[in-house]
Amino acid sequence: MASSLRGEVKKLYKNLLYLGREYPKGADYFRSRLKAAFLKNKDETDPEKIKQLIARGEFVIKELEALYFLRKYRAMKHRYYSDDKP
């Protein structure tokens, strides 16, 4: 059981690291915060607590994706629609 959770944690870290490349404050800022968050919980051994932390990480992934989608939407809207209101 612990090995499957370990794989999930690694996958979560890699996904977050990949998503952090486009973070508004910069990839280095995101990477340092991500590393600190994972190191803070590195000694956790309770499988239920680890599952909760993984679920929290997946929530963060969804929030980042929403943030990036919104930023891209605003950029596209700005390109194709004028700010002048009739």
Residue 5's closest CA among 61, 49, 59? 49
Phi-psi region of 85 (alpha: psi -120 to 50; beta: other; left: phi over 0): beta
Reported as a single tens digit per residue, the pLDDT across 8-38 is 999 999 999 999 998 888 999 999 999 999 9
What's the CA gap between 64 and 22, in Å, rounded?
Answer: 9
Say what the pLDDT of residue 83 is: 67
Neighbours of 57 (CB within 10 A): 20
Residues sharing a CB contact under 8 Å with residue 22, sequence separation 6 or more, in sequence order: 68
Does this model's pTM top 0.85? My answer is: no
